[in-house]
Structure 1
Amino acid sequence: MKTVPQAVLLLLALTLGACATTRPALPRRDTAALRYNVTYAREPQRGLEVEIILLSSSPRDFLFRQPERVDTVWALSEDGSSRALRLHGGELHVPSGTRFLRYFYPLESPSRGGERSFFSGVGEGDAWHVAGRAYLLRPRVVPPDLRVEFTVDGTDALLPWPPDDAGVYHLRGEDLVDSGFHGFGGRRCEANVGDAVLEVALLGRFMFLSDAEVCDWLAQAAREVNTVRKTFPHPRITVRVVPVPGAEEPALFGMVQWSSPPSISILVGQDTTADALRRDWIAIHEMLHLTHPTLLPRVAWLTEGLATYYTEIARARSGRQTARQAWQELTDGFARGQSAAGSRTMAEVVSREGDWQGVYWTGALFALRLDLELRRVTHGRARLEDVLELLATRGPTSSLAGFGAAVDTVAGEPLFERLLAHQLSVPAFSDLGSLLDRLGVRIDPGGVKLQAAPDSRLREAVDGGRPSDDAG
């Protein structure tokens, strides 16, 4: 953790104290209980100066979810007097009479790189990526009716939420809890998919890619989502693309956070090319998470399994890869999952989330089985995508039981619990070979070959197989 030098804190305190009498206060009739003013600062170091304006109805207890880079918050009263408040385990109690809370969040840190920096701050120059949960001090308890106003000055920002014409973000309290990814500075482009728009922040320089090529890559991934869902799941989402110096790989790491609307961020090799992006799978994988509801409590094997399964199927349906290539990717993944799982049952594998190869590919195999069974029992009238469409009408969140109920509704008979109970009780990949044989997926030393078999028509219905894919 990098703390701000005492001299910087003193300068900040003096500056904030001087500003206390010059910044206009919110009118008392304002319906927002909190107002956040975020200013991007370049000197003495790059960071975010955050001011929270409190009203009489504002909460008095606050916390940082990731108390790593801020250790002091300044409380200022109406008369401009200030008081330094130290954080205790990331928590803060606001003294009575406090009108403003102010602090500085440094974006630059000596410990740069790695997944942690993906949340706490990564970038170069005046283009920075940070998770909202890393730098935002929020109420410890968020009332359901809490209303918040939020502004950003000093740079162009890409936040999950759309601002109004005056540049003000009107948020609910839950937006502070699930605050998504934020981008500051950089360049912008847009990708359109039907009536949906992807607002993209390019947070750094690429050696061999134009901004248009990056946006085209994301638009392609979004179009592939529409091979799974009838329309893109959200009218607007935001995507931040962060170049990683010295890397030639396309996407290195990506994540979707369930802000409202969801926000996606992806690390991309700075030296990658447009040809390499065409082979990427991470962008479509992250966008496919938008096709299913948030499952509470979290069920990683199912949500990651769905996205992993459809990553290959959607790329085949769009024509970005052949059906044969899709099944090659799936069988390679199943082999990795089987190696990780060993002789353990599915229940044993999915109980250990840190075993990602086992969890992802066990879940992907279950998604394939579920898709095939739905098609089988309905004689081709229904498929797994119909479950996702039904769940979309029931709200943004669900549960494992709710997912199962949607499966049974689409199937027209009890299906989910029976299939899941069986798979949980047997070695995770025990009957993979017989399943592939029935689908006509043969694994030879030279690679996968697709051939006629009892269930090859089901396989072709799944992948949208083309005649040119059938040849060995």
Structure 2
Amino acid sequence: MPRAFLLFLALSLGACATARSPLPRRETAALRYNVTYTREPGRGLDVEIVLLPSSPRDFLFRQPQRVDTVWALGEGGSAHPLRLRDGEVRVPPGTRFLRYHYPLESRSRGGERSFFSGTGEGDAWHVAGRAYLLRPRVVAPELRVEFTVSGTDALLPWLPDDAGVYHLRGEDLVDSGFHGFGGRRCEARVDTSVLEVALLGRFTHLSDADVCAWLAQAAREVSTVRRAFPHPRITVRVVPVPGADEPALFGMVQWSSPPSISILVGQDTTAASFTGDWIAVHEMLHLTHPTLMPRVAWLTEGLATYYTELARARSGRQTARQAWQELTDGFARGQAAAGSRTMAEVVALDGDWQGVYWAGALFALRLDVELRRVTQGRARLEDVLELLATRGPTSSLAGFGAAVDTVAGEPLFDGLLDHQLSAPAFSDLGSLLDRLGVRIDPGGVKLQAAPDSRLRESVDGGRPSDDAG
């Protein structure tokens, strides 16, 4: 599948939310979810919601396509169906339980929709929490939830207690991440962080250890951008795609707490092909920046796209020349898509994914170079990400800019951004590459001495030690 199409999927299906601290277990729950994986008739999830006196009474499905009926049960056991209107459910007085069945299997298989609504084989299934969970229409900050899963081994974003109960905030139902049911498990580790991995299907040429080694390599590459892997624990679901031999076809991170990642991998791929993969490290690189609210796709995707090539070069998985070849090829695609439009016009259109991703990546490059220039090499764009990490899991475009100025020691961000937004997108690409010593010849990129070639080498050669001048 072409990389360009994968970028489009990631942009069009992108999600953002807020990371949160774990729920203290002493707090009393107002809702209880009991989820049971069932095999007959047809694989699916039986969901029971136990209502307490303090429970909300208005619920909704964010993606109501697969649930036809929700049953309301009173204290006496009588049950009657509730009507769904645009996915909304109003709970009648006296209701003690809500119950419904969510089918994981669907007549239409494949494509981005099944990536969220349910895809898998045998007893290994992948689904987004937002697809199958009926949650309160309005989530109060104080809402507390207990959540259990039975019938199979599940990999959810959260950690259960010793009794298998997940203690959640109501917001976890809103930003519920990706869920895996069944399959096999392995772990990938980098430093003190752990990636819990669910392998949701079979591969023809890969062992489970091959998959976890690939993910561990991607996680180590993230540590060339940040001083340490950004989270102590994340979950990753790997879903085989029959009839495909690409190392990775598509991936996405969702900002559950902690974040959850899912990746589609060709069922017939080999361990050797992982050396050319970029999707796993790209998704993990999204963990290096805060969630920007409101969403600023050109910046967050631009950062991940820019660092995808640099991280692979810094780790030795590709050469510096290959990294600049990938970057310049991407800039050329973005420039072709942008035409004569300004950057502001390009990034205002979510559907213009080539322009959005690569205009953002070019801005990241220019910002990185300018930070190194004005500080005589003492600071870099990675230092902005480190500073933002101390300020919390969310930020804004203004907050990002303020962090840039703090690291630079002078006003830098607004002037650079205003200039870039008002100019034709990619109009100064050629002069920037010339100063960096990146020459595009018919035979490919060549790196040569130039006024800022030392800056270029500091960009693609990895971060200096923390005590370097």
Scaled by the length of structure 2, the TM-score of the pair is 0.92
Match of 2:344 among 337, 341, 347: 347
Superposed displacement of residue 47, structure 1: 0.2
Superposed displacement of residue 276, structure 1: 1.0
C-alpha distance in structure 1 between counterparts of 2:64 and 2:37, whole Å: 20
Is contact 2:119–2:125 with CA below 8 Å preserved after alignment? yes
Is contact 1:322–1:465 with CA below 8 Å preserved after alignment? no
Q: In structure 2, what is the equivalent of residue 371 of structure 1?
A: 368
Q: In structure 2, what is the equivalent of residue 231 of structure 1?
A: 228
Match of 2:136 among 130, 139, 153: 139
Q: In structure 2, what is the equivalent of residue 436 of structure 1?
A: 433
Match of 1:207 among 199, 204, 207: 204
CA radius of gyration, larger in = 1
Match of 1:128 among 125, 130, 150: 125
Superposed displacement of residue 432, structure 1: 0.7
Query: Whose relative contact order is higher, 1 or 2, with alpha carbons under 8 Å and at least 6 apart?
Result: 2
Q: In structure 1, what is the equivalent of residue 5 of structure 2?
A: none
Q: In structure 1, what is the equivalent of residue 23 of structure 2?
A: none
C-alpha distance in structure 1 between counterparts of 2:144 and 2:274, whole Å: 41
Superposed displacement of residue 39, structure 1: 0.3
- For the pair 1:92 / 2:89, whether they are aligned, the reply is yes
C-alpha distance in structure 1 between counterparts of 2:39 and 2:73, whole Å: 23
Is contact 1:120–1:131 with CA below 8 Å preserved after alignment? yes
Match of 1:40 among 37, 41, 45: 37
Superposed displacement of residue 114, structure 1: 0.3
C-alpha distance in structure 1 between counterparts of 2:272 and 2:97, whole Å: 51
Q: What secondary structure, in the 3-state scheme, does the structure 1 residue paired with 2:249 have?
A: strand
Q: What secondary structure, in the 3-state scheme, does the structure 2 residue paired with 1:268 have?
A: strand
C-alpha distance in structure 2 between counterparts of 1:236 and 1:140, whole Å: 29
Q: Which aligned runs of 4 or more in structure 1 are off by greater than 3 angstroms?
A: none
Is contact 2:224–2:462 with CA below 8 Å preserved after alignment? no
Gaps of 5+ in 2: 1-25, 464-469
Q: In structure 2, what is the equivalent of residue 309 of structure 1?
A: 306
Superposed displacement of residue 431, structure 1: 1.1
- For the pair 1:457 / 2:440, whether they are aligned, the reply is no
- For the pair 1:73 / 2:70, whether they are aligned, the reply is yes
Superposed displacement of residue 71, structure 1: 1.8
Superposed displacement of residue 30, structure 1: 8.3
- For the pair 1:245 / 2:251, whether they are aligned, the reply is no
Q: In structure 2, what is the equivalent of residue 338 of structure 1?
A: 335
C-alpha distance in structure 2 between counterparts of 1:392 and 1:284, whole Å: 19
Q: What secondary structure, in the 3-state scheme, does the structure 2 residue paired with 1:96 have?
A: coil
Superposed displacement of residue 465, structure 1: 7.4
Q: In structure 2, what is the equivalent of residue 164 of structure 1?
A: 161
List aligned pairs for 1:389-404, cutoff 5 A.
Answer: 389-404=386-401
Q: What secondary structure, in the 3-state scheme, does the structure 2 residue paired with 1:71 have?
A: coil
C-alpha distance in structure 2 between counterparts of 1:385 and 1:323, whole Å: 18
C-alpha distance in structure 1 between counterparts of 2:130 and 2:462, whole Å: 43
Is contact 2:27–2:144 with CA below 8 Å preserved after alignment? no
Q: How many residue pairs are counted as aligned between the two chains?
A: 438
C-alpha distance in structure 2 between counterparts of 1:336 and 1:204, whole Å: 35
Question: Residues 96-138 of structure 1: CA distance to partner in whole angstroms, max 9, x if unpaired?
Answer: 1111100000000001110000000000000000000000000
Is contact 2:296–2:397 with CA below 8 Å preserved after alignment? yes
Superposed displacement of residue 284, structure 1: 0.2
Match of 2:380 among 379, 383, 397: 383
Is contact 2:253–2:261 with CA below 8 Å preserved after alignment? yes
Is contact 1:61–1:139 with CA below 8 Å preserved after alignment? yes
List aligned pairs for 1:403-422, cutoff 5 A.
Answer: 403-422=400-419
Aligned Cα RMSD in Å? Answer: 1.1
Scaled by the length of structure 1, the TM-score of the pair is 0.92
Superposed displacement of residue 278, structure 1: 1.4
Q: In structure 1, what is the equivalent of residue 277 of structure 2?
A: 280
C-alpha distance in structure 1 between counterparts of 2:355 and 2:327, whole Å: 13
Gaps of 5+ in 1: 1-28, 467-472
Superposed displacement of residue 275, structure 1: 1.2
Deviates more, 1:442-451 or 1:286-295: 442-451
C-alpha distance in structure 1 between counterparts of 2:282 and 2:163, whole Å: 35
Q: In structure 2, what is the equivalent of residue 25 of structure 1?
A: none
Q: What's the % identity of the aligned pairs?
A: 87
- For the pair 1:112 / 2:98, whether they are aligned, the reply is no
Superposed displacement of residue 422, structure 1: 0.2
C-alpha distance in structure 2 between counterparts of 1:427 and 1:207, whole Å: 48
Q: 1:440 to 1:465 in 2, by over 3 A?
A: farther
Is contact 2:44–2:105 with CA below 8 Å preserved after alignment? yes
Q: What secondary structure, in the 3-state scheme, does the structure 2 residue paired with 1:251 have?
A: coil
Q: What secondary structure, in the 3-state scheme, does the structure 2 residue paired with 1:259 have?
A: coil
C-alpha distance in structure 1 between counterparts of 2:67 and 2:462, whole Å: 54
Is contact 1:323–1:465 with CA below 8 Å preserved after alignment? no
Q: What secondary structure, in the 3-state scheme, does the structure 2 residue paired with 1:454 have?
A: coil
